[in-house]
Structure 1
Amino acid sequence: MENKNLHRAIFVWVSICRFLLAGVFIFSGFIKANDPYGTAYKIQDYLEAWGLSQMLPDVFPYLGAMVMGVFEFALGFYMLFGIHRRIAPTLMLIVMSFMTPLTLWLAISNPISDCGCFGDAVVLTNWQTFGKNIVLLIAAITVFKWRKTGIVKLVSEKVDWLVALYGVVFIILYTLYCIRELPVFDFRPYHIGADIRKGMEIPEGEKPTTYETTFIYAKNGVEKEFTIDNFPSDSTWTFVDSKTRIKEKGYEPPIHDFSIISQEDGTDLTDTVLDDENYTFLLVAPYLKKADDSGIDLINEVYDYSVEHGYRFLCLTASPDEDIAIWQDNTGAEYPFALTDEITLKTIIRSNPGLVLLKKGVVINKWSNNQLPDEYELNAPLDKLSIGTLNQKTVSHKLAEVLGWFAGPLLFLTLCDLAWLKWHKRKKKKEEEQTEN
């Protein structure tokens, strides 16, 4: 009896660990597939922290982001359904054996603010990530130890190959869709429906984070740090560098670095754009040198449309004047340019270039370079068009759509495969009967 209870307890514990690992890996892989560019930016942060960014090709972070998303999702998917019961637990144990010490190093040295495991959906501190990985490592060891007897398949042997293949194909196609279009789930502070002005405000009663900047000056080969309060009056000191650190941690608004500076005369246009009662088109292109110009005709059409209807149109970039001039020469761009922080631009929209529609600081719509509206969509003033009206789908609505697109074809293919197996079995039985007669 004791033996039976022990086996039951082990089975329950292995099942808890199994489904915990499956859920975390599926979620982590799906989030990476949903926002491949965001994952690529985080990989770039890692490479810079390790001093490898200059040694690898520019395409490496983007390929790495795709592979990570597909790999994690597939492992979690296999673990969930009990497919590849030897390979999946082994690979999970290898992954967690590598990630756990890596996140310990991140927690101690803190080269980047967060590991980016779950993108912008769930942001964990480095110490929280390390704690999470300790739990997952224990779960991975448990599942690996009892992988032969403790994992029960949720699908039959007849269709497990189909389910395994479908899971991989689905996440690859989903990743490619999010690269070509935009992330289906937008967890950033500039999502459709977001009020940028409110995102910059500090709630009443909250204290802002205070910073202290120290200036490093040198004199006679000796470097010394000064604050703004004890700034050196002796002109023989020469400036070397400056450092900014957090003096007192407080509330940090979701949007804290949004500003628009006119490239032409240096005028601050931030309040002008955010307070505008009319529509504003923002063409967002962090790097004009690397921007995709395949949709330039549509961009110029949108600009002509905005001029015709009295809407503001600005191209926001972090590019130098030289790159702006080259872009103007190559594309015939007549719209004005403004300067915005590079990281902010990459956060606003995952496309270079991408188009954002604002009205009084609220994000009304977004388009990637592959989704730009054409003359057939822009056939009336924006307030009379669906694309000019805020139509924000809830996360639940989007989740239901994605689950439908996932489960529907999977169920159909599974039924087709079972029907084919049944037909093949009947055919074989008939042939055997005819042979006997």
Structure 2
Amino acid sequence: MKRIAQITFRLFVGLTFIFSGFVKAIDPLGSTYKFTDYFLAFGMDSLKEIAFPLAILLSTLEFTVGMSLVFNSRKNIFVWIALLFMLFFTPLTLVLALTNPVSDCGCFGDAWVLTNWETFWKNILILACTLFIFWKRKNDENKNPIWEQNLLLAFAILVAGTLSFYSYRHLPIIDFRPYHIGANIGEGMRIPEDAPSDEYKSLFTYEKDGITKEFDETNYPWQDTTWKFVNSEQIKIKEGYTPPIHDFSISNDKNGDITDMVLNHEGYTFLFVSKELSKINDVTINKVINLALYSLNYDVQFVAITASGKQEIEDFTLEYELPFEFYNTDEIQLKTIVRSNPGLVLLKKGTIIDKWHFRDFPDANLIQGDLAASSITKHQTINIKLLIISITSTLLLLLVLFRLIRIRFAREKNRLRL
């Protein structure tokens, strides 16, 4: 029975680490933004520069620890790492739950959003399982050669690193955000009629004979004139329904709010997204200008949105003589829409048809026929397939190599015995 429990706990903790590492590895910028949020919330602004390498390191470490536990490779080392990891993050998540500096811990990226209290209780469970594995770590040793176990872990590091590198230079191979391909932005903003609303509790402060006392709606002394009203406040006691997409709007001083116009446009819309105009290079902006001119010629709506300030927008527009104007959108929304600065999104009636990292912007000269049927919308699927095929092929090659080497060693051992 203990043997079954040990294997079950080891697989549970290992798979949890693999999942956590994987969803972070395919969205390194998402983890970077989350680390930055925490650094700012705790007044550690100077650490923002290490947010990105820390995101890569954390995802790789989690994925490798998970692989070690699942395949029981070098477990005596990695169960120590898992234990130290949980001993650090469990008290930390308790502090986060009590202070709530950031509403979402980000431990499972956008794949599974947990509150800080849910994260804390999740960590308590994982810590308990990890402690059991740690105490029984010598009862479940892997008999395979050390070099073979090391090779498996090296492969885990390679996979995590490759996923992070690819997703950073292009786009996440799996998009768990509400702006994923196929999502309709307008529908994501709607609140169902029967959705629960936020619930608040009113508190009233009154003063009498130099004594200040707090009351609520049920007992405040509204008829007792001896009590003097001081102030009141409302406290949220229950969170209502929040739509997947909120705080999304497109507007500028000249044309006002054009959000509905963009989302309800019957034809295609190119949405050029840049949270920071100063980071755009000349090669990219030339591609964007060509796409904007293509849009003008073929009745495609082209809308540019940014979080940059008015003066920066004016300077940037004059410098490149842009044939389009910019609209403002919240920076958080821009970072959520596409993990690239700049990025490009193709819409039709508010539905996301495709998205591009700036390294993959389509060439306007190669666009032919209907945009949805054009080869420009197939790039992401092809790249993902190639990545999966490459990783799978590498794994199969390693497995075959393992087998051939072990057969060779076994034959050599038998020959020496003879």
Task: Using the TM superposition, give the Cα deviation of residue 419 of structure 1 relative to its aligned residue in structure 2, in angstroms.
Answer: 2.2
Counting only pairs closer than 5 Å after superposition, residues 356-371 of structure 1 correspond to structure 2 as 356-371=345-360
* Contact 2:185/2:245, CA 8 A, preserved across alignment: yes
SS of the counterpart of 2:138?
A: coil
Counting only pairs closer than 5 Å after superposition, residues 226-305 of structure 1 correspond to structure 2 as 246=236, 249-262=239-252, 265-305=254-294
Deviates more, 1:379-388 or 1:34-43: 379-388
Q: 1:93–1:247: structure 2 CA closer, same or farther, 3 Å change rule?
A: closer
The answer to whether residue 21 in structure 2 is matched with residue 29 in structure 1 is yes
Deviates more, 1:197-206 or 1:170-179: 197-206
- Matched to 1:64, the amino acid is L
Partner of 1:410: 395
Q: 1:57-94 CA deviation, whole Å, 9 max, x = no partner?
A: x4311111111111110111111111112110001100
Q: 1:341–1:156: structure 2 CA closer, same or farther, 3 Å change rule?
A: same
- Matched to 2:398, the amino acid is L
Partner of 2:34: 42
Q: 1:106-131 CA deviation, whole Å, 9 max, x = no partner?
A: 11111110211001110111111111
Q: 1:14–1:408: structure 2 CA closer, same or farther, 3 Å change rule?
A: same
**For residues 238 and 75 of structure 2, what CA distance do their matches in structure 1 show?**
50
Partner of 1:343: 332
**For residues 251 and 194 of structure 1, what CA distance do their matches in structure 2 show?**
19
Among 137, 141, 145, the alignment partner of 2:131 is 141
Counting only pairs closer than 5 Å after superposition, residues 36-75 of structure 1 correspond to structure 2 as 36-53=28-45, 55-56=46-47, 58-75=48-65
Task: Using the TM superposition, give the Cα deviation of residue 287 of structure 1 relative to its aligned residue in structure 2, in angstroms.
Answer: 1.3
The answer to whether residue 315 in structure 2 is matched with residue 326 in structure 1 is yes
Q: 1:118–1:293: structure 2 CA closer, same or farther, 3 Å change rule?
A: farther
* Contact 1:28/1:73, CA 8 A, preserved across alignment: yes
- Matched to 1:188, the amino acid is R
Q: 1:330–1:211: structure 2 CA closer, same or farther, 3 Å change rule?
A: farther
SS of the counterpart of 2:194?
A: coil
Partner of 1:93: 83
Task: Using the TM superposition, give the Cα deviation of residue 418 of structure 1 relative to its aligned residue in structure 2, in angstroms.
Answer: 3.1
The answer to whether residue 411 in structure 2 is matched with residue 419 in structure 1 is no
Q: 1:401–1:143: structure 2 CA closer, same or farther, 3 Å change rule?
A: farther
**For residues 409 and 318 of structure 2, what CA distance do their matches in structure 1 show?**
65
Partner of 2:191: 202
SS of the counterpart of 1:175?
A: helix
Q: 1:190-219 CA deviation, whole Å, 9 max, x = no partner?
A: 11111111111111322444789xxxxxxx
**For residues 401 and 238 of structure 2, what CA distance do their matches in structure 1 show?**
62
Q: 1:424–1:294: structure 2 CA closer, same or farther, 3 Å change rule?
A: farther
Q: 1:212-250 CA deviation, whole Å, 9 max, x = no partner?
A: 9xxxxxxxxxxxxxxxxxxxxxxxxxxxxxx99747632
- Matched to 2:67, the amino acid is F
- Matched to 1:413, the amino acid is L
Task: Using the TM superposition, give the Cα deviation of residue 427 of structure 1 relative to its aligned residue in structure 2, in angstroms.
Answer: 7.5
In percent, how many aligned pairs have the same letter?
39
Partner of 1:229: none
Any unmatched runs of 5+ in structure 1? 1-8, 213-242
Q: 1:66–1:13: structure 2 CA closer, same or farther, 3 Å change rule?
A: same
SS of the counterpart of 1:380?
A: coil
**For residues 304 and 334 of structure 2, what CA distance do their matches in structure 1 show?**
11
Q: Tell me the TM-score normalized by structure 2.
A: 0.84
Q: 1:342-390 CA deviation, whole Å, 9 max, x = no partner?
A: 101111000000000111111111000011111453133425524469x
**For residues 211 and 308 of structure 1, what CA distance do their matches in structure 2 show?**
53
* Contact 1:18/1:79, CA 8 A, preserved across alignment: yes
Partner of 1:317: 306
**For residues 31 and 353 of structure 1, what CA distance do their matches in structure 2 show?**
23
SS of the counterpart of 2:246?
A: coil
* Contact 2:11/2:70, CA 8 A, preserved across alignment: yes
- Matched to 1:328, the amino acid is T
Task: Using the TM superposition, give the Cα deviation of residue 23 of structure 1 relative to its aligned residue in structure 2, in angstroms.
Answer: 0.7
**For residues 33 and 176 of structure 1, what CA distance do their matches in structure 2 show?**
8
Partner of 2:219: none
Among 5, 8, 33, the alignment partner of 1:13 is 5
Q: 1:140–1:159: structure 2 CA closer, same or farther, 3 Å change rule?
A: same
Q: 1:425–1:152: structure 2 CA closer, same or farther, 3 Å change rule?
A: closer
Among 149, 154, 158, the alignment partner of 1:165 is 154
The answer to whether residue 368 in structure 2 is matched with residue 379 in structure 1 is yes
